Structure 1
Amino acid sequence: MQLITALITSLALSATAVSAQSQLGTGGASAPKFSYGRVTGTYPGVRSTGSNGETNPNRPSLGTPVNQLSMARLASVNSVDDWCTFGPPGTDQPIGNIEAEAVAYCTKPRNNARVIPDGTLTAVQFIRTPLYVQVSALGDFTKIGVMPGDDGGELDPHGATGQGNPVGGNVTSNVTGTEVFYEEWMNFVSHDQVCIRICTAAGQGVSAAQQCEHELDIMGCQFVMATGRVADNVFESCDGDAAYPPGLYPQGGSTSTFKQFFVGSYVNNGETITYTNGAEDQATPTAAFSIPVSSNCASVSTIGNAIASIVTSASTSTSTTTAAPSGSSNSGMTSTRGQSGSTLPRQSTTSSAQQSGAAAPAHIREVGSAAWKVGAVMAGAAVLGVAVLA
């Protein structure tokens, strides 16, 4: 997506002013609801027109074999207890090192993907808006291979080379009543939080690419996805207003767009290519413009799949799933990316409206390429590794 790079300072949007405006996102009169006009799920740029990744099934489906060696990269976001995130294929590399090779992990056995073991998730908030569906989750994501203390990274269908992170990654949702492959999405993953947004509608007033902005890698869940406070031990599903597109700041009748600065590189066919995003002298805001209100929230007691844990093993058993032959992949391509370094704000009780809070400081971590180790496999009733059932 082409963005207009505008210095926040040139519009007198100091970090203090931006933070103060964000506090009005739960109903303050100075932060009006984002107005975007008529939108549809068939507007250009909403539905995917690209090929399905070669490691992925042809279509999303429930009840596929549980395979913790799977390299499938098809993630679905459907409800509070039926969603996926991308994560590392092994346990010995930071997310930033392996974004191009990340794989799908799901709360239910689906899409030939790996599963998120019971006990991983401590809070989940599912939000459905007119423009996107979104999951924000807290938990111990070392259980899906994220390294302890890893501040995480950002996954999206673009990447430094335009081939996606992960390469061949696809997303779907059935919130409209049918399974749809969508073009634009973004996913932040760290050791203690995950958030994923799939953009499901657009129109002349807003594009799917704007609502799923993919160049704010180091800003994290709360800033990019305008995530409110997520309550520990609460698993809830809500309707919500759509947030302003990430990085968009209306001010005095005009609009400023924050574009994150970082310098990165990627390796393509043995050649290291360096690129620069944004401007080094621009100011970095501390929070999203506003946090949209949510409503009609309903809770479930917990989320589970009867798999309590999966112990890593030296097993070299191969995947029992069948990959679709379509699409292309270049898993030998690696890239350096910024990491989120931010956390979701927590609260101890539920709330019918999301509330705002300042994003943690961002930072950039240089990363490189590496090999990975994989864990155990359980395919149907055949245990190929060591699985502990709840």
Structure 2
Amino acid sequence: MFPFASLLSLALASGALAQTYSATYLPSNVPKTTEEGQSGTNQCGTGSDQNSMCQNLYINSIDDFCLFAPPKPGADSTIGNTERIEVAWCIKPGYGTRLIPDGAITGAHFVQTPDYVQVTGVGDLTKLNIAESDVGQGGELDPHGADGNGNPIGGLVFSSAFGQLEQIHEWTNFMAADEFCIRACKDGPNAPALCQHIYDVMGCDWNMPGNYQPGSFDSCQGDTGEPMGVYGTSTFHQGQAVTPPAHDAPATSSCKPVSSIGNFAVTGTGSSAASVTGSSTASGASVTGTQRNSVSAAPSGSGTRSGTSSGTAAPTGAGSNGAASHLGGSAFGVMAAGVAVVFGAALVV
């Protein structure tokens, strides 16, 4: 057996590599496109247009976030089929994007942690052109893709959640016709592990366990969760015979409920440390629910997503959207990386 001390040294050495990104932009200085073959644009202006091809996404707060979704409706507009050409749909106007129609999102839950911000929720996302057949796991978008150019190609994410507005280099966004989740990770050694992109057929519940309660909207503080797919010193890889359960949903606190979200305002209804219910913009119904913090083990090839899988190949790096990175130095991921190296496992980052 490989000595533990040597294993630890190898893991720490892997984590000591410098994390680099090929470019960092702001909306004010971004070029028209940031990747070859990009179908949309990153120079989006400040207007709102339901035919916009803007591929800049923002995640700032419960009333100010965006999602990637298809540019056109149709039976073939599953995320797996359209992942390379998705466009940004936003709650708030002013970014040059399409607006999420009022009532499309019937439950949304924003969580700010020390290392990432996340929104989980449900709704009728066929209003964002997602095919009604694309339910369940849906499909995944991220800044890597199979070729390092991102899904969508050239898609950028910005956030002011950690202070001033900045580009987020590591992020992951799952979309289905009835459910969504998005996480944007603060730049740092933990970011690649906490915004891992290789579990693209596993869906929201497994990748981002949390609150998916319909009929309510809130903003919470939260603990940083465990990185998806990492269990102690072992790392699960999609396609293995047995799929482990999802991690438990991290604890949240200081939750502030709002009555609804829409294109122009969110109305506050007080604050509470407990889960609350509220009225959605779609039906006005108050619905109670529970956090989704685990899924049953199942063969890992059972996801419904079709199309190019971003987990089938490691990003070759170096797209100008700045997504290229190395084995991260995460306190909870670096040991797993060392184990994978020692025993010859291919740890994809």
TM-score (norm 1): 0.60
Q: For residues 2-26 of structure 1, what are the alpha-carbon distances to aligned partners after superposition, in whole Å with 9 as ceiling and x for unaligned?
A: xxxxxxxxxxxxxxxxxxxxxxxxx
Which residue does the alignment assign to 1:111? Answer: 95
Residue 248, structure 1, aligned to residue 207, structure 2: no
Indicate conservation of the 8 Å contact 2:105/2:122, yes or no: yes
Residue 181, structure 1, aligned to residue 167, structure 2: yes
Separation in structure 2 between the aligned mates of residue 86 and residue 360 of structure 1, nearest angstrom: 28
Which residue does the alignment assign to 2:197? Answer: 214
Separation in structure 1 between the aligned mates of residue 254 and residue 21 of structure 2, nearest angstrom: 26
Indicate conservation of the 8 Å contact 1:182/1:200, yes or no: yes
Identity of aligned residues (%): 41
Which residue does the alignment assign to 1:229? Answer: 211
- How far has the Cα of 1:232 moved from its partner? 1.8
Q: For residues 137-165 of structure 1, what are the alpha-carbon distances to aligned partners after superposition, in whole Å with 9 as ceiling and x for unaligned?
A: 11000011011121321000011111110
Distance 1:82-1:365 versus aligned 2 partners, 3 A rule: closer
Q: Which sections of structure 1, spanning at least 5 residues, go unmatched?
A: 1-42, 262-280, 308-346, 369-390
Separation in structure 2 between the aligned mates of residue 48 and residue 296 of structure 1, nearest angstrom: 36
Q: Report the 3-state secondary structure (helix = DSSP H, G, I; strand = E; otherwise coil) of the residue aligned with 1:210.
A: helix
Q: Residue 127 of structure 2: which of 140, 143, 152 is its match? A: 143
Distance 1:236-1:243 versus aligned 2 partners, 3 A rule: same
Which residue does the alignment assign to 1:349? Answer: 288
Distance 1:249-1:360 versus aligned 2 partners, 3 A rule: closer
Distance 1:170-1:53 versus aligned 2 partners, 3 A rule: farther
Indicate conservation of the 8 Å contact 1:136/1:196, yes or no: yes
For 1:85-164, list aligned pairs within 5 A: 85-92=67-74, 93-151=77-135, 152-164=138-150
- How far has the Cα of 1:259 moved from its partner? 1.1
- How far has the Cα of 1:202 moved from its partner? 2.7
- How far has the Cα of 1:68 moved from its partner? 1.2
Which residue does the alignment assign to 1:11? Answer: none
Q: Residue 178 of structure 2: which of 192, 195, 200 is its match? A: 192
Indicate conservation of the 8 Å contact 1:53/1:168, yes or no: no
CA RMSD of aligned residues (A): 2.6
The one of the two structures with greater contact order (alpha-carbon pairs below 8 A, sep at least 6) is 1
* Number of equivalences: 254
Q: Residue 251 of structure 2: which of 293, 297, 315 is its match? A: 293
Q: For residues 87-122 of structure 1, what are the alpha-carbon distances to aligned partners after superposition, in whole Å with 9 as ceiling and x for unaligned?
A: 001111211111000000001113211110001011
- How far has the Cα of 1:192 moved from its partner? 0.5
Indicate conservation of the 8 Å contact 2:92/2:264, yes or no: no
Indicate conservation of the 8 Å contact 1:136/1:194, yes or no: yes
Q: Residue 242 of structure 2: which of 283, 287, 292 is its match? A: 283
> 2:85 is aligned with what amino acid?
E
> 2:186 is aligned with what amino acid?
T
- How far has the Cα of 1:289 moved from its partner? 2.7
- How far has the Cα of 1:231 moved from its partner? 2.1
Q: Report the 3-state secondary structure (helix = DSSP H, G, I; strand = E; otherwise coil) of the residue aligned with 2:193.
A: helix
> 1:245 is aligned with what amino acid?
P
Separation in structure 2 between the aligned mates of residue 201 and residue 248 of structure 1, nearest angstrom: 20
For 1:9-158, list aligned pairs within 5 A: 44=19, 49=24, 54=33, 55-57=40-42, 64-92=46-74, 93-151=77-135, 152-158=138-144
- How far has the Cα of 1:201 moved from its partner? 4.1
